[in-house]
Structure 1
Amino acid sequence: MGDHKEHGINIDPAFVRALAELLDDTQLSEIEVEDGERKIRVARTLTAAAPVAFAPPAAAAAPAAPAAAAAGGTAPTAPAADAGLADAIKSPMVGTVYLAPEPGAPNFVTPGNAVKEGETILIIEAMKVMNPITAPKSGTLKAIHVENSQPVEFDQPLFSID
């Protein structure tokens, strides 16, 4: 057939192409398939342009609030927004956030849900490892401060629980 022998294993280029198409269809960054001793891993590199696009608007918004306060404008909205994040549970690592256990599945939780201490709220993928981030206390999920598939930084607010 279309099999090629490389490094002692048979590789089917059509199968590898099908795996690559599956990556695009599911928005995954990699997929690995094992069949006995044969292992095929297909991965794609995601660009880091998206985080840079988010940074300038935040920096531009910061000077506007002090300018409004100096002009006698009402600036309580900025401190109120910051106060809402003061009690937020923060990211313990750098990675990519996933709000659901797998693509197409419902989110672990949504704002307004009652959560129990230890319940998984979201997952952060870091270095190809899926790390569940759990509720540190029981209560009501007040807000989720990140979007699905969003890159996050260490100490970035993730969610709030009342």
Structure 2
Amino acid sequence: MEIKEIQELIKFVSKSGVNEVSIERKDFKITIKTTSQQTVQAVVQAVPAAAPVAAIPHVTAPAIPAAAPAAAPVAPVAPAASEENLITIKSPMIGTFYRQASPEKPSFVNVGDEIRPGQVLCIIEAMKLFNEIESEISGRIVKVLVENASPVEYDQPLFLVEPM
């Protein structure tokens, strides 16, 4: 590929709105990335692709099985012991879990507290917005499953409640 062809390709990528283009031939590989509307970055390199490609699967393959067994036993153990007659209140969003409105104020609910529909149980901060999570059921808090100021995922269990 000649320099004129590379320049034309860069112009095309910058005008088309595409974020990244990669072309691979026998003797070279070119990747053109746009980081913003005005900045275009081109990387041209020779292709000794056989060695890195072979190394990548060997590195990633052992890492995936090692992580999966560690995570699998943890999840089933906790719910199996305590879900017989308890209701799990789950996070409706991704964010940071807070048990109280501010560090000086008391927790919204504690283990043993009776709750009713509409009562605030916690706050989940998402993108600098503080969302009050309210109870939809009546019952008694049996266990708080998340530590204060820790990140939570969507549908992650937050509280175990004994229904009343």
- What is the aligned partner in structure 2 of residue 91 from structure 1? 91
Identical positions, percent: 47
| C-alpha separation in 1, matches of 2:143 and 2:74 | 25
In the alignment, the residues of structure 1 paired with residue 74 and residue 132 of structure 2 have an alpha-carbon distance, to the nearest angstrom, of 37
Instruction: Name the TM-score, length of structure 2 as normaliser.
Output: 0.50
2:70 aligned to which of 42, 51, 60? 60
What is the distance in 2 between the residues matched to 1:148 and 1:79? 20
- Cα 1:58–1:134 change in 2 (3 A) is farther
Given the two structures, how large is their TM-score scaled by the length of structure 1? 0.51
Which runs of 5 or more residues in structure 2 are unaligned? 1-65
Provide the rounded CA distance (Å) in 2 between the counterparts of 1:140 and 1:86: 10
- Cα distance, 1:58 vs. partner? 8.8
User: Which string of whole-angstrom CA distances, capped at 9 and with x for unpartnered residues, describes residues 125-153 of structure 1?
Assistant: 00111000111111111111101001000
1:18: which partner in 2? Answer: none
Q: Distance in 2 between matches of 1:64 and 1:115?
A: 28
Number of the residue aligned with 1:156: 156
Aligned to 1:130: 130
User: Are residues 1:100 and 2:97 paired?
Assistant: no
**8 Å contact 2:91–2:157 — kept in the other structure?**
yes
Task: Pick the structure with greater CA Rg.
Answer: 2
Task: Say what the alpha-carbon RMSD is for the aligned residues.
Answer: 3.2
The gaps in structure 1 that reach 5 residues or longer are 1-55, 66-75
Q: Secondary structure at the match of 2:70?
A: helix
Match of 2:83, SS state, is helix
